[in-house]
Chain A
Amino acid sequence: MRTPIAYFLVVSAALFTIGSVGVLVRRNALVIFMSVELQLNAVNLALVAFSRMHGSLDGQVLAFFSMVVAAAEVVVGLAIIVSVYRRRRSADVDDVNLLKW
């Protein structure tokens, strides 16, 4: 493999940052959720790259577990968003201020 491992790590860092900027900037709860998915994916990419670098499969197993956790998180999160939407008629995170003092 000719590509240095660090290049994959840089792509991963860029995707993670784009995801976190999305979480900070966007208002739609669904798009914020997609940005969280982007962050999880970026970390998975870093894990797989490290697994390749160290020549062992443990990083891939960890990425696999992280995918499973991400799937569970999406299911619960989308259910919460649907539930909030039924109450507030809006998926905007600024409208959800029940816990704000």
Chain B
Amino acid sequence: MAADWIVFWVCAPISIGSAIAMLLQRNAVHAALFLIVNLFTVAVLYLVLGAPFLFAVQIIVYAGAIMVLFLFVIMLLGVDREERLVERLRGQRTAAILLGLGVVGEVVFAIRAGVGFSTRAPAGFGAANGGGNPQALGRLLFRAYFLPFEVTSILLMVAAVAAMVLARRRERPVASAERRAQEPIEPSEPSEPSEPREEEPVG
């Protein structure tokens, strides 16, 4: 019994089960925790498929950074509220599940037609991974995919700036505190009308 067979049959059911559990959780924090389990099992499947670098990146970036960001936002927005279970469109849930099952069936059929259920990976993956998987990936990234790699860095910078612009509050507490400190204290002066906190159009 090959080791990858055992690892696959341990990880794949956990992966699908945790994904379904994520869907069924009404509490957003529990959904996030199930998503972390799912991300870990997918990372292990990467390892089985001969991608140790992506395994590490998956755990660091997804299960680490992105999920911490998610949990931060969940805590920021309040964890106690739960979703209403009333359907806005009648029959939407049933239709979604039926269509989902249809999509799975269709894709499985396509996989059987296109790849075949007995196709095994060729043994020669070591040649592509010459000198180790991260080294080979780095060689590929910095030679063949150099331009996309640099564009990616611009994308990340734009995303960081966009997040700061979107999540900024209109009022500037530091600036107003400075102004108040510079002004002489005059109790008779009418206090400036409190502005609406959010004027920024959303989206």
Chain A residues in the interface with B (C-beta under 8 A) = 1-11, 13-22, 24-28, 30-31, 33-35, 37-38, 41, 44-45, 48-49, 51-53, 55-58, 60-61, 63-65, 67-76, 78-87, 91-92, 94, 96, 98-99
Give the total number of A-B pairs whose CB atoms are below 8 A apart: 257
In the bound assembly, the distance between CA atoms of A35 and B35 in angstroms comes to: 9
Q: Which residue of the partner chain A has the closest CB to B162?
A: A76
Chain B residues in the interface with A (C-beta under 8 A) = 2, 4-5, 8, 12, 15-16, 19-20, 22-23, 28, 31-32, 35, 38-39, 42, 45-46, 48-51, 53-54, 57-58, 61-62, 65-66, 69-70, 73-74, 76-77, 81, 83-84, 88, 92-93, 96-97, 99-101, 103-104, 107-108, 111-112, 115-125, 127-129, 133, 136-137, 140-141, 145, 148, 152, 155-156, 158-160, 162-163, 166-167, 169, 197-198, 200, 202-203
Chain A residues near B38 (CB-CB < 8 A): 15, 38, 41
In the bound assembly, the distance between CA atoms of A6 and B133 in angstroms comes to: 23
Chain A residues near B203 (CB-CB < 8 A): 80, 84, 98-99
Chain B residues near A1 (CB-CB < 8 A): 2, 4, 48, 50, 120-121, 123
Q: Which residue of the partner chain A has the closest CB to B136?
A: A57
B28 touches A31 (CB 8 A): yes
In the bound assembly, the distance between CA atoms of A3 and B137 in angstroms comes to: 24
Knowing A19-B19, A71-B66 touch, does A3 contact B8 (C-beta < 8 A)?
A: yes
B73 touches A41 (CB 8 A): no
B119 touches A49 (CB 8 A): no
A5 touches B57 (CB 8 A): no
In the bound assembly, the distance between CA atoms of A25 and B120 in angstroms comes to: 36
In the bound assembly, the distance between CA atoms of A5 and B19 in angstroms comes to: 21
Task: Give chain B nearest CB distance to A51 CB in angstroms.
Answer: 7
Partner of B19, one of A15, A63, A68, A80: A15
Knowing A22-B23, A34-B22, A65-B148 touch, does A17 contact B104 (C-beta < 8 A)?
A: yes
In the bound assembly, the distance between CA atoms of A95 and B9 in angstroms comes to: 42
B69 touches A38 (CB 8 A): no
A34 touches B108 (CB 8 A): no
In the bound assembly, the distance between CA atoms of A18 and B77 in angstroms comes to: 25
10 new A-B contacts, CB < 8 A, other than A4-B118, A7-B117, A64-B141, are A6-B112, A26-B23, A35-B22, A49-B49, A55-B128, A73-B159, A75-B163, A80-B203, A87-B202, A91-B81
B39 touches A82 (CB 8 A): no
